[in-house]
Structures are given as C-alpha cells and as structure tokens.
Structure 1
Amino acid sequence: FCFQVLNSFCEACKEVTFNVPSKLEAGTLVGKVNLKECLKSAEHISSSDPNFRILEDGSVFTTNTTSLSSEEKTFTILLKDVQGHEEKTIDVNLLGHQEKTPKTRHTRDTVLRRTKRRWAPIPSSLMENALGPFPMLIQQVQSDAAQYHTVYYSATGPGIDKEPVGLFYMDKNGNIFATGPVDREEYPMFKITCYATSADGYLLETPLEHTIKIEDDNDNAPEFTEDCFQFHVKEHCKSGTIVGQVTAKDRDEPNTLHTSLRYRIVSEQPSSPKIFSINSESGVISTLSSQLDREKLAKHILLIEVRDMGGQPFGLCNTTTAVIIVDDINDNVPIFSISSYEVRVQENRVNVEILRIPCLDKDEPNSTAWQCKFTIVKGNEDNHFAITTDKRTNEGILCVVKGLNYETSQLKILEITVANEIPYVIVPYSSALAQGTCTVRVIVQDVDEGPVFKPCLLRITIDGCAKGETVVGKYLAEDPETGNSEGISYRIPPEQCKWLSINENSGELRTVTLLDRDQQDRTNKQCNISVIAIDRSGKTGTGTAWATIGPCNRSPIVTPIDYILCRDKKPIFVTAFDPDMSPYSHPFTFDISDMSMRAEWQTVQNNDTSIFLSPMRDMPFGIYKIPIVVRDNAGKEGISMVTVNYCDCTTPSDCNRSQQVAPAVVLGVWAILAMILGVLLLLIILITLCVCYGRTTVHKHVIDDSANQNLILSNTEAPGEEVMDPNIIPLQAAPVHSREHRVGMGRHEVSTGGNAFEMSKGHQTLNERGQAMMEQGRDSYSEWHNFTHSRLGEEPIRGHTLIKN
C-alpha cells in the first residue's frame, strides 16, 4: 500500500495522529514516533494493542492484518524506565480513509493527487524488489495547461532512455510506470526530466526534473569484515579488560533499522565458566572475570552473531568466529626436581662441566617467564665454580673454572638458587612464592698431576687465505711442579679436525691445507681440537684449541700495469682487480704511495674499480714507474708498480721500438763511481798505447749519433798523421731520463738522484772507412776537449797532443 503520513514527529508525550488506509496488511509501517523526546531512558516499550508493535527507534508496524471499519482507531504506547521507576505514555490515533481509484486501467496502485497545480508533484517512490504485477503505476504528473490545451506528456533520463534503459516509462497522460523490480543497493535514486507539449509539439511547460526514490527493503544480511577474528589477552587480567572488537557491515540503507546491527555471543568454548562478554552495539569483547589461566587453557573460541533490525528476531543475521589467545605472564616460579647432588672432580681440572641441574617451570616454554637463571649463593667464595643456563633445555650447567687443590680442600658444598629472567608476578591461582634451592657436594679427587695447558682453551682465528704450513699460533703446557715447559711433547689425537697440525717439540700450530673460503662452501667454519701434552714421565694433560676460519681478503692489484702516454697527455685509464667477493672487493680507493710522485702525477676516481692517471706538469719523454696503492672495501691494500712510457707519439700504436726509451737501470753511488774510474782507466790505456807506437799516429773516433764528438790522440807535439787503428772501437750512448737532478753530457743525461739511470744498450763497430768518419768528427773535437778537460781537471798528458782540425 502507498499512503501519506502526517504528523510523523509530534510533541513528546502528546497525542500522535496518522492518516492510513482503511485496511493495513501485516508488517506495514504505520508511522514513526519520537520516543527519546518523551523518555530518553526507556528500557521497556510496549503497545496496548497487540495488532501493533513498537520498535526501539519509534517505528510502528502492524503485526496482523487490520481493518479500520470505523475509520478511526486509538491505542497507547507505554514507556518504562525500570531503574529510574518512571513511566510515560503516548496516545496514537489512526485515521482511515478509502483509496481512490485513478482514472486509468491500473486500478491496483494508489496515486497521491493534489487538488491544485500538479506539474511539480512530490518525489515518487518505489519499493525495491517489488513483486509487481508490472507495469506498475508509481506516479502521475499533470500540467495546469491541460485546462486550455490538449497536453501530451513524455520523459527522458536514467531508467527511461539511459542506463538502465526501459526500467520506467511515461504514457501521454503523464502516468509513470515501472516495468520491473529495482535493487536499491545498485540504483538508490533516479532523476528524470518530464515534458508537457501540445499536439503540434509546442512546449507548454518548462521541463520538470522529477525524482524517483527507491525505498529500501531489508534484503541484505550483515557481513563480518573478517572470516575469523584473533585477539590476545594477558592471563589473570582484571575483569572488564577489553580483548578486541568485531565489526560487520550491511549494504542496506544507512541510518535505518535495516542497518541497525546488534552483536551477541552465541557460544563459548569452553562453555563454563563464562569469561567473555560483548557490547551489543559496538561489538567490543571484554572479560567478565580474572580467571584466565594460560597453564589451564591457552585458547578460547567464541561464536559471535550479528543481526540487523536492531537485533529483532525477524532481522537478518550472520556469524563469525573469534579466537582469543591467552598470553603468558610469570605466574609460576621455577623449581628444582632434585634438591641435592653429589659429584666428583679431579684436582687442577679447569673449564670442565661437572653437573647439569634440571629446572621445572610451568610458564610458556622458551619465554622469558620460563627461562631459568641460576646463582651460586654459598660455597663459591674463591670463585672456583661458575654456573650458566642451557637455553635449549633450561638446565643449569655447573663448571669448574679455577683448579681445585686436593691438598688444601677435599670437599666443597655449594648452595644454588634459581629464578626467572623477568620478575615473578603474584596473582590469584598462581603457585606459591618460594625460591628454588638445591645443594651440590663437590668431592675433590687427588691425581698424579700431568702437564697443564695455559690457557686451557686457546682461541685461534685463521686467515681464510692461509696456505699450508702457515704458523697460526703456539699452544704450550706447563709442568705444575716446575712451572716450565721443558721436556713436554705435543700431539693431536686422530679423528680430530684436519685443519691444524702441531709441532711435537715446539707446540707450534700450523695449517694443514689451503683454507680459502672461495674454494669450498664450509658448513662449519669452526673446529674444536683437543691437544695432548706428554711429560718425560709419561703423564699427560689435555687442552682445547678452538679454531675459527676468518674471512679471506686478498690484496687488490692493478691490471694491466704497462701504459703508453702520448704527447697529448690524455689521462690513462687504470683499473684494479680483486679475486675476493663482497664485502672484501670493490669499491676501491686509489693513491700514490711515493710522496714525491704525488707532486708530479694525479689520480681522479672514475668508478668503483678504476681511476684516471695523468701528469701534473711538463716532463721529458721517458719511462716512469709509479707505485699505486689500491684498498678494497674491507681496508686490505696492495701496491702495484705502474710503468708509464711517456712517448713522443700521436697514438700509442705510433710509439714503436725506435721511439721508446730503453728500460731504466737503477744505479747506486758505487756504480756511478766505478763508471767514472773506468773512463779514467780507458784514457790512461789509450795514452799508453800512443807512447808505445812512438811517432805512429793513433786516432780514436767516438761516435755519438746525436752529438758527433771525436777524441784524437797523437804522440807528436805538432799535428800528426791521421791513422785508423782497428783496436779503437767507437761507443754509442743513448739518452737517459730521470725525475730528479741530472748531469748533462752533450745531449746525454746521467741521473744522480738515485731513482733511475737509463741508458740504451751500447754497441761496438769496426768501420773500415775510418778516415771518412774521422773527418766527420773533427768539427766536434773542441766540444769533446771541453767536456773531458772540465771533468778530468788536469792539462793534457805530457808527450801527447790533442789535435783539433
């Protein structure tokens, strides 16, 4: 039925009147009363007439089919506040009226009409999922122009000629029809445009925008946001502690009873005692008592229901599961399973385990409330003992850390206590607060003392790149009587770690095989090795060497190391290489180790593995050796000697053998002095030969490809006859370059700085055309004379004449 509701909200606690059809079907909404303005704290709502039901939001529904024969009916709404002992009533009057049949063939539908202008009617409404029959009349529009003209009506818009097309249509008389059911969740509202035209198409009215509202039907059950909720709560928490919140959503129209959700706990596991409650409106779960005990039950499961229509039985519902995990607190003290122990230990034994003490704790295993911490509170005044905890088994491990002496004490009585790593919490239902205590009697045994290793545990770290037979340490034992290591031999028993061997006499530990981490992936990079010491009497002592393979970090190198630099001085691209893996490889840092070289050459970082090398000033052509330091990411450094051939070339390929300077020869001070003495000796020999020949003229021709210098010897005071002696062999010298002080010899240079002395390989020739070569060399005789005269510091030898042509 469609009917008009008047005075839906009246003054609180006063009479309310509704205009309704004369016949009301069961479940029909009659109207809505504002209950909160009458009595805000109403806890109980009832109706004096059983044919009508009042909901919490004030909605009035019929429970049975009701007919208003007298066209008027009255009943009372009773509101009660039980706690405040307050009651109020609201009188409701129902005025019935007969339905008017529209002047169309669709007489089933009720059309709201008004007596005046109908071109702007109230919005139309259509119940979603209406069952029909279709087409269904939902509204009629009418123009006042119909009094004077024949009016034809039409409409356009969503639902008519736009998506969803064909859901509505308007006939020429202005009647709006629905052709089928509509889902409000998909289309909550339609806005169409209505037109009134004359027979010839003339527009008689301004186009009218008309709204068709789809009334919500409770066709969607609420759904929880999660299939299973999980919450955590501490055991023994206070009553009223919030555990968590469950939430649900409903696709029906908001702020209506269709989306008014209520929550409740359907079942709880275990079912007794009831420990949890839920707020019906918010879905917040809280505790009812402090009886949560993880040691009894670590998990609780709740089945929770959500229902719309304010939780009324006829509302739609859904369920979910909430798992509540009880978290542990330290409400149980650790205890000893045995209260006393007795153990025996040989004197002078150190770092040896003598007893394992079990500990029991009911708290959650492997938690801080379960882990035990042992303390020796009595009997360990000399610190002979130490106790630790095995984290896996929660046992106390009692060890001797300082040698006991049988001669001074044969018995030690220890008192040991245990506690947890976190403080104990006193709560109801927890165990009594009593600290666990046990007693250990340690009996010291007398032994014929053998060698004692110091320390008893030797820790060794081996370089991962160490080769075989590398000394990694020395492990010595002492005779407890004499305090020295004389006469003690060492050995490693078989079936031990294969990494190390020990020298029988010196106790040196050496690697057995190459330990390179890049060769093989070792699952165990640590090894526990027992070492036995034997004294002269055959008594033995045992020590432990704990070997660990460290990282293998090899030095980075420059490759290649030979480069050619042409006269354009284009920077040289220098790269480094490291066979290691990250983090022992690049990025590299580069530097020049020679301070003096840094003033002549500069490096510019290119990327993680390379630099650009270039000279900083002009320098002569020649070969330069530059020490480059390369450091890897771990700080390991290597020095590579880079050779740069500064060549008079355009491209490196042009720098052939004739253009290159010969390899440098580094000479010391004594070598240079020997060369000078050799020159003097050669001059003396030549002079002696001249004397022996008498008047025979002797010529010496020294050929220099660059200077053309000659030395001519004669035994006459006047210019003598030139002769060619096959015993006189010309010498050829090549240029020599150095960074530091140089002594010029013609166009040749001799380094005196100590860094480099470069000379091309000499060669000796015997030219049959000596006369022609002598003639060519006369022009340079004066230069040669000046050179030898200034260096020999004396006049020409008597009886010999330097002849200049």
Structure 2
Amino acid sequence: MAPAAPRLVLGLLVLSLCCEACKKVIFHVPSELEADKLVGRVDLKECLQSADLISSSDGNFKVLEDGSVYTTSALSLSAEKKTFTIILKDIQEQVEKKIHVDLVEEEKKTPNTRHARDTVLKRTKRRWGPIPSVMIENSLGPFPLQIQQVQSDTAQNYTIYYSASGPGIDQDPKGLFYIERETGNIFATRAVDREQYPSFQIICFATTPDGYSPEVPLVHTIRIEDDNDNAPYFTQDLFEFCVPENSRPGVVVGKVIAEDRDEPYTLHTTLKYRIVSQTPPITPAFSLHGDTGVISVLLPQLDRELVPSYTLLVEVRDMAGQPFGLCTTGTVVVKIEDTNDNAPTFKQLQYETRVEENRVNVEVLRISVVDLDEPGSPGSGAVYEIIRGNDDQAFEITTDKNTNEGILCVTKGLDYEAAKQRILVIGVNNEAPYLLAPHSQQLSQSTCSVTVHVLDVDEGPVFKPCLLRLDVKECEDIGTAIGRYVAQDPETGNSEGIRYRIPPGQCNWVNIDDKSGEIRTVRVLDRDIGEMRRGQCNITVLAIDRNGKTGTGTIQVCIVPGNKNFPRLTQTDYIMCRDRNPISLTAQDGDEAPYSAPFEYRINDRRLASMWKLTPHDDNSWYLSPKGDIPYGIYEIPVSVIDNGGKIGENIVRVNLCDCVTPTECDGRTRQLAGGNVTLGLWAILAMILGSLLLLLILITICGCCGAGVMNRQVTDDCANHNLIISNTEAPGEEVMDHNIIPLQSTCDQGGYGVKTGEQQTFEMVKGRGHTLESVKGGGHQTLGSVKEGGGQTMMDTCRYSYSEWHNFTHPRLGEESIRGHTVIKNN
C-alpha cells in the first residue's frame, strides 16, 4: 500500500495543475425560485469537450449533461448575488475545469420596454410542445423546407431566442436541420433516407437575451415518413429443397423468405409470393403460398426416374402484390429424392458356365441387373440369392459393390461322377425395402437360371468316409482286426490297384494292410498307459493308385472301456458279536460302466452256504448274515463277486463270530475254525469227565435239599427273586428270548426259562452277576457251556429239575458230542 500513496499524490498534483477556470456565466433570475425550476443553460462542451463527472459546488443546484441548471429546492435570492461553481472532470485525461455561475436578480420591466404588458396578463394557448414533426422521405424540396415551428408562452413576457441541439443539428448528420432564432421555425436543408434515419429527437431551448431560460428544454421528435423506395429481396440467392418421389399432394417442400427495408407493418412491406415459371415446363408440380412463401407438392406423382429435379422462378412483390408494388425474383431448385420404387431385373434370363470338378473358392460367373433407381443408393443396391439347386451349399453368390454385379463362386468341390451339371435359380432384391408408388402394382422378384457344367478331371483315390471312427475294446490282443478302410477311384468306382500306407510319425496303435486296407492292432490298447490315457488317436492313411495319384483319409481310433479288472471286496475281515447283525460286504471294480456295478455275490462252499446267507443291499453292497444259531468261532467263507460284464472275482471273507457285546471285547486270540472237524485229546476228554462229575455232585446236593423239604416257599421265592434276574432287564439291547424258546413247566412261581424242541431240551442260562450257565445250539447239536466265575455266586433253582432229568440230558449228549467232535468246550 505504501507505493500507492505517492502515485495518488502525484495524480492530485497533475489534476490540480490542469485545473482551469472557464468563462463565467451570469443568469438573470427572479428573486424567488421554485424547486425544480430551470435556471439556465451552460455550454459545457465549450469549457470541456468530454466530461465524465459533472457536479455543482452548491447543493441547491443540479447540472444536467446538456448543461441545464435546475434548482433542487425553493430559493430566495438575497440582496447580494448568489454564486456557485460547476465542476467538470475528465478522469482519463486527468483534467478538471470550473465554470463560475452568478445569479443576478432581474429587473422589473417598465411599460416603455418592448415587453411591456398590462398589469394583468392574459395567458394565450401554449405552443411550446407541438406534435411530432413529419418529413417525407426523399423529399424533393424546395430546400430549405420548413417542417415545424416551436414557440414558448413566455414570449409574452420576455424577449425569447430559440435554439436547438441534437442529431441532425450539431450531431451527425450535422446541418440537416436548423431553427430560426427569433421565430422558432424548424427547417430541413436536404432530403433524408428513412432506412438510414427513421426519426430524430432534438432539444429545443427558449432563452432570454441575457441567457435566462424561462422554459424547460423541449424534446421534439422529427419523424421521417416512409416512401416505398425499396424493393423486397430474397434472403438467399438460391433456395434448394428435397422431397421424396411419389410424395402426396400437400407435402411441404420448403419455404422461401423475402425481406423489405421499408417501414414494417405498412403496405410498403406487405409481401406476396408467386411462381413465375417451372423448368421443365410440364404440368405444374408445386404450389407456392402467397403470404407465407411455403412450397408444397401439387403433382400427385413425382417420379425421379422421369424428372430428377425442378427449377422454379419465384417472385415477391410489396404493396400486397399490387401491380404498382416493387418486386424481385428468385430461384428455387427442388430435387426429387429417390425411393425404391423400381425392382432390379436381370439383363439375361439364362446363363451357362463351366468349372472343373474339385475346384474350390473360384469365381465361375458374373451376373448383371438393371435398376432404374438412383445408382449407389440402397434402392438400387442388388442383393442376390440362390433360390434352388444349392442344397449342398456348394455355391455362393455375393455382390460387387462397385459394379452391382452378382459374383457366383464354388465353395465346395463338385464331383463330376456324382453330377455332370448343376442348374441354379438365382433371384435378386434391393438392400432397401420397396416403396410402391400410388396406384402401382406389387413388384415381383426377378429371377434367372444358371447352368453349371462340371468338367471331368483325373482324380486320386477317395476314401469314403473321409473320417472313419473305430472303437476298440480296451486290452484286446495284439493283431486283433478292428476294421477295414478302403478308397475308390472316382472315375471307375472300384478299389483295384490301390495301395494303402500309414505315413510315419503318428501313433503306432494300428497298422493297415497295404492291399486290403484291413486294420489291426499292433499294441495292447490300455487307457492306463502313457499316451493312451486320452483314449483317442487320429491316424492319416494314404491311398495310392496305379498312376501315382494320392488320396488321404483319417482313421480315428477310440479306446472304449473293457472288462479288464476283477471285482474285489474292499474289506474281508469282520467280527460279529452275539447280536449277529448282518455284515455289509462292498466290492469295487476298476472298470467303467457297463463292466462294473451292479455286482452279484455268491457263497461257493455248499456247507457254508447252508450256515450263511447273502442278501442284496444296493448295486455295490450285499449283506452277509448267519442262518440260525451257528456256533461261535472263526469262519472263512469263499465269496464270489460277479460284475455286470460277467467277470468273477474270488474273495475269502473271514468272520470271527464272537461271544461279545461289542467287537472290542474280542481279544483276537486264534480259535479253531468253526464248522471244521475237531479231534479231542486225552486231557480234553478227562476235563470233560471231571467237569461233568463235579456238576452232577452240585446238582445232587441241591436236589437233595429241595427234596428233604429243607427249603420252604419263602426260600424258593428268594431263590427266584434274588438269584435269577430276568434277562431282558440286563444289558439293554440284548435279546435273551429266542423265537424258538418255549417256557418249560416249573414247580416254582418265578425263575429261569426252558426250551423244549422235539425230544431235545435246552436249559436257559441262569444269569447272575457276571456268571452264566448257557446252552448253545448250533448245527443241529447242543453244547452245555461252562460256568464262568467273576466275583459272584450262581444258584440254580433246584425245584425245577431232578437228578434223573439232568442225568438223562447230559450223559447221552456228552458221549455223542465226544464221538462226533463237534462240541467246543470253553474253559476260562
């Protein structure tokens, strides 16, 4: 901000140096001045030509741009004169000038003066504001020509001088008007062009000789009356429009526009249009609206093929078209746009051509058409198609965009032996759809026929089919014949003298007999080996005739899955507990369908088949379960699994039939195979005898007590209630009752259970805490089990069986089982 201060001070010094005082102005005014009263007029431009700011040093006065000085409030002049200053500033030039104004009270006029009037003045009709003046354009004079007079009412009291300023006086065009100083008559010095100056606004002043202005300056308008001295003219030298052919009457084509420089909204600018002439001079095709200049279709049928364009000479005339009006002509060109109203037609209806057999992608013929529509437009662009004779898609026809011709080509090799000639029917249309002219008939498609003669060529052998697929079962023996692939001479139709060969560098799965074309395997095709995993191989075969001409074909060898794998069980060792739930046997086969599942299971051993049975579960699994109550032990069961292709897999299923609740209870010790012949040694026989004698001794003692009547009813009840536990309340889930067990008659109310089957009896085990006495039935034999001790005491109900009954039950059976060797004594 500091550098700006010197510049400001410097500017003020320059401005003050340029400040000058202009000529002093003295106004004679009444002693009493009303507000907004004109005091006088100062010629500001005489002091400063261009003033940006005009101000007064006294706020009671205001100065207008034209130099008029008005009061801002009512004033009363004192005996002394009133003085103020008008300040003019030109900011750009940094010039300031001042005009000193002195207001002097005017003296009363005496009766002897020129302007003396009676004491009471009569106001006459005021003429200071006349109506606007009118001057005719291009007036011929004589000049100077009086056009108006202005006069102020104050002329009755003062000597008034008239002056004026504004355009036409002291502004451009300068000197066109002037006003007489004494009379107020306004004169024109020359003719005026209204189109250049349609009106003038001048300011008229009325002042006394000493410069006082008793009237407010008058703004007076001088209007130049129009003369029809301008002819109308078109806005364009040439109007160009387009309209589609066959357009209906009334369709708007375009609009011509004309203008007139004369005064608007008068007859001088009221225009009328008309068509003067049409080229070609035939039936009028268009109409022109006289007022708007809109051109419309008049002819119902515009045909581009007959007349492609029209040239119209149009006229525009002012004075509403009256003959004495001024006029101008213009040119309008209307182009007729093409529509597809003409169908293409062939220049010839029949064509003939020749082509060698087996030629591919060669041009055989060009076909031309005639179309009356505009060349190069979609309405004339030809689109060719083969309507008949191309069922095998051996031909193709396209359009040459430059010549509009149809190009017929062969896309597949023709066979002379199959057909010596081909007859094609070709049609043609346009790219754009047809637009029918009014009252015209439906257009029909033009067609032509083309006869193609096929020329015979000496050819090499041809394989039929060109691709032979051979499916070979997996793992076939080497040298297996899998097919025959032969070629034929196209001319003779036979295979005589043709040799066959497989070029090297291909997969060596098969070979071909060079004379017969028989194909045999040279390897065992196994999809699990190396490059055969893809299961497919393409082999090119050459056929060579006597002349050395060669034909090629392809053999596609596909390895199809075979039945090469035996079905195997996924598991062969099982443990079956006393619940004897069925075992699920599951097999798997490495082959694919249809040589895998569903599987069929069989037991090969007849004896074991009588003890075990197989039942289907699903395609892969069968259930193995025992038949009846077979003895505990380890069974090795031969099971055959047969796949869907008939291949049999032999398996040995090892089942440990164990006296357990869960498989983990079996200790896995080796047992003799159940169902085998067992030979008892000396120690075994002695153990059996001693055990039997001990058992008999215990039974006799108990029965003796019972028979002597030592045990009363209460003891019997206690024996039943405290020593025998009903089996179906112990070890949840274990079923004690067999469907073949029938309760025996007993002398006790509660207690154990018995079974009587035929003549044989089975004693139900008497269960105590960890002790059992059981009878095991299996294979038609019975076994008396051992008594297991594990921390408890077992008591039998001696009220149920006598010594003779036990004797009769045990001794015959002990001897029988010892002889047969089918009883297994379990001693822990």
Measured against the shorter chain, the TM-score band is 0.3 to 0.5
Bigger CA radius of gyration: 2
Instruction: Indicate the structure with greater helix content.
Output: 2
